[in-house]
Amino acid sequence: MGNTQNYAGRIHIYSAPAALTQHIEWAINQHLNQVVKITWLSQPLLPGCLATDLEYKSKLPVAAKIATALKGWHYIRFEIRQINLSTTDAVLYRVTPDLGLHQASLASNGDVVINENQLSQIINNSYSHKMLKSNLENALGVNWEIELEPYRLALASGMAESISKSG
């Protein structure tokens, strides 16, 4: 029972300069407290950049620590999803060089959840309809989704091409 893995997560690194991959691997392995084999693929949108996708299980919540470590390297685009297997509470961290870090709680279907305190703060800090819309979009991470989507698609396309070439 002492070996129970209470958290499961997935790390998507959509683009990272090739020169940083060993540092990224070290940071991930350090926070997971285990050695994870990471396979890197070329990111078609950014020559010289690589991407990877990996799943993990952990006794402790490590997503915030990994996100904090990785965001220190300005040129990385990534997201980390982590679920507490005991409660099904989930969290999402997204980082882009231009936007920085976005953290959100997730519903079981993957939707971003805005809690009552966040909504109250958004309403109280919104002095116009335009500002309300902007603050809600920021809480939902709309700009992060827009910026990361082309990298997701390019990576998915590249993976499909490499599978079809090897098959």
From residue 117, alpha-carbon distances to 50, 59, 102 in Å are: 38, 29, 17
Cα–Cα distance between 133 and 121 in angstroms, integer?
13
Q: What pLDDT, in 10s, does the model give residues 103-156?
A: 999 998 889 999 999 999 999 999 999 999 999 999 999 999 999 999 999 988
Note the maximum CA span of the chain.
57
Threshold 0.95, pTM exceeds: no
Is the four-CA dihedral 154, 17, 58, 86 of positive or negative sign? Answer: negative
**Burial class of residue 100 in the structure, from the number of CB atoms within 10 Å of its CB (0-12 exposed, 13-18 middle, 19+ buried):** exposed
Q: What pLDDT, in 10s, does the model give residues 50-91?
A: 999 999 999 999 999 999 999 999 899 999 999 999 988 999
Cα–Cα distance between 104 and 119 in angstroms, integer?
13
**Burial class of residue 90 in the structure, from the number of CB atoms within 10 Å of its CB (0-12 exposed, 13-18 middle, 19+ buried):** buried
